[in-house]
Amino acid sequence: MQFTKMHGAGNDYVYVDGFREQLPADLAQLARRISHRRFGVGGDGLILILPSDQADARMRMFNADGSEGEMCGNGIRCVAKYVYDHGIARKSELRIETKAGVLSLSVTTAGGLVDKVRVNMGPPILAAERIPTTLPGVPVVDAVLDVAGRSFRVTSVSMGNPHCVIFVEQATDELVLGCGPKIEVDPHFPARVNVEFVEVLGPAEVRQRTWERGSGETWACGTGASAVCVAGVLTGRTARRIVNHLRGGDLELHWDEADNHVYMTGPATEVFSGDWPD
């Protein structure tokens, strides 16, 4: 089975073209094996690029632990690049189907290949029961969350998948690697949750580290960066347009007041292709 390794700002996945390849029945097992950084190709998970009856292509994404996620902001940019570069749909405006709905993407090319993608992430979901979370508030802004003997002020947002945004003075390993996995499985988040630890550098600039549900710390999280943009506005910490510095690179975010949609712009990179022996 042919695969392609791609990343968006360091958030790396193994991609399989379901238009051309025959997929195994047990996709969760494939995700766990192919994503393993010592015994597989290595990545934050597996993303399948599939035919769609309502869009140019359909994306299914699996975390490194085999669980299936609703959406991946960095992953969908790479899907758009693959769809364009490999001739599935060579259009500057693409529509990609996900478990969180059909999203619109605009591609920018250099030398005939996509190097940057702008994604209309849609409106943020702020109703607690739809995120889902049992934390109080409408919306859930700076709610108190006690985890592992510590008390956090958290803001919860869904961008098609659940996020818990925590603004901190410094996003340390103790917070990200120590508290992140405990918050992920906290009972206040019945579907588990992605956790963002965010340093505010100014009204238009933040730095983010992410503990991603099912994958551990990732070098970037597009839906998480979008959630941070929303949370920054809701808490009065940032403006509606920000640059978010992630471990793997920068993303540009805009929560548009006119249509209530979040727009994310960032890179998409193809690294290499190969043959998976199964």
| Structure confidence at residue 77 (pLDDT) | 98
Query: 150 forms bridges with which residues in the sheet?
Result: 147
Question: What is the three-class DSSP state of 197?
Answer: strand
Predicted local confidence at residue 113, as pLDDT: 98
| Catalytic residue annotation | 72, 221
pLDDT in the model for residue 109: 97
Rounded distance, CA 86 to CA 83, Å? 6
The domain made up of 128-260 is a member of CATH 3.10.310.10: yes
- Size of the chain, expressed as the number of residues it contains: 278
pLDDT digits (tens, 9 = 90+) for 118-158: 999 999 999 999 999 999 999 999 999 999 899 999 999 99
Q: Which band of pLDDT confidence, cut at 50, 70 and 90, is reported for residue 199?
A: very high
pLDDT higher than threshold 80 for residue 244: yes
Residue among 89, 59, 29, 84 nearest 278 (CA): 29
With a pLDDT cut of 70, the percent of the chain lying above it is 100
Q: What is the mean pLDDT of residues 215-232?
A: 97
Q: Which helix (H) or strand (E) element contains residue 228?
A: helix 222-234
Backbone angles phi and psi of 73, in degrees to 5: -65, -40
- pLDDT of res. 178: 97
pLDDT tens by residue, 24-53: 999 999 999 999 999 999 999 999 999 999
CB contact at 8 A, 189 and 213: no
Which two three-digit tokens encode residue 145?
A: 């969350």
Is CATH 3.40.50.2300 the classification given to domain 2-121+266-275?
Answer: no
User: What residue has token string 């943009």?
Assistant: 229
60 strand-pairing partners: 48
Identify the sign of the CA torsion 25, 159, 93, 15: negative
- What is the C-alpha separation between 34 and 27, in angstroms, rounded? 10
Task: Report DSSP letters for 26-93, one per residue.
Answer: -HHHHHHHHH-TTTSS--SEEEEEE--SSSSEEEEEEETTSPEES--HHHHHHHHHHHHHTTS---SE
pLDDT value at residue 148: 84
Instruction: Report residue 213 as tokens.
Output: 């549900």
Q: Kindly state the average pLDDT of the residues 196-217.
A: 97
Report pLDDT digits (tens) over 56-91.
999 999 999 999 999 999 999 999 999 999 999 999
Are 2-121+266-275 and 128-260 the same fold in CATH?
yes
Give the pLDDT confidence score for residue 134 in this predicted structure: 98
Tell me what pLDDT residue 4 has.
98
Rounded distance between C-alpha atoms, residue 221 and residue 111, angstroms: 27
**For the residues 1-15, what does the mean pLDDT come to?**
97
* Average pLDDT over the chain, rounded to an integer: 97
In the chain, what are the domain boundaries? 2-121+266-275, 128-260
Is a pLDDT exceeding 80 seen at residue 100?
yes
- What is the amino acid identity at position 230? V
How are beta strands 11-17 and 45-50 bridged, if at all? parallel
Q: Are 207 and 186 in contact (CB under 8 A)?
A: no
pLDDT tens, position by position, 17-27: 999 999 999 99
- How far, in Å, CA of 255 to CA of 239, rounded? 9
Distances from the Cα of 72 to the Cα of 11, 140, 194, 208, angstroms:
10, 22, 11, 16
